[in-house]
Structure 1
């Protein structure tokens, strides 16, 4: 019985740490935009780094994908997620450039 409680407590602790880190990274991204203390390209690089860190936090704490084990399912999940993100970003850019072209 104590093993089950310890496992559940550890899992809840892991979720709370992940939530705290995700909240901290989100606040840092908003702060980087709100208080612009760097050049625009540096701010963009900081945002990309914070976004990458956020993805790693979500993979580690919420999806339970760890670097120690190399499972085929985990690799497929990461590749599929990257594909979906790439499709969304490229589709958004196509739409925005098309709208810009039509407005000029």
Structure 2
């Protein structure tokens, strides 16, 4: 076979998946993540407090920025990438998201059902008279 050893180059890693490289590379990844998180946070506060953005689109813009910030945190700080060694992390994250969606969705479903089927307080007070 070949006696060439494969050593991954610094540019072959995904953001947040620097591995056991130099400390400088790892710190740079954290600083880039921090910078992106700060920019996204400042942008969301700017959008919420200004009249430069069309008012009905503000909630949508804030939701988009929140999803982008979640992605930044997952990649740069939690090191969730698409590499083969992160399969368990991605599966655990997907399971956690599923549980959160089920709990929140089930709670909203139950509250909506109770709101529809419960008698209003004024009718209860009239029945007691």
TM-score by length of 1: 0.69
8 Å contact kept, 2:47–2:58: yes
Instruction: Count residues with an aligned counterpart.
Output: 96
Correspondences of 1:9-88 after superposition (within 5 Å): 9-36=24-51, 37-40=53-56, 42-67=57-82, 69-70=83-84, 71-83=86-98, 85-86=100-101
Let me know the Cα RMSD of the aligned residues: 3.0
8 Å contact kept, 2:80–2:90: no
Deviations 1:39-85 (A, max 9, x none): 32x11111111011101101110011123x14331222321442465
- Structure 1 residue runs of 5 or longer lacking an equivalent are 1-5
Kindly tell me: are residues 92 and 13 of structure 1, through their superposed partners in 2, closer, same or farther at Cα, counting changes over 3 Å?
farther
Higher helix proportion (structure 1 or 2): 1
- Structure 2 residue runs of 5 or longer lacking an equivalent are 1-20, 123-129
- Which structure has the larger Rg over C-alpha atoms? 2
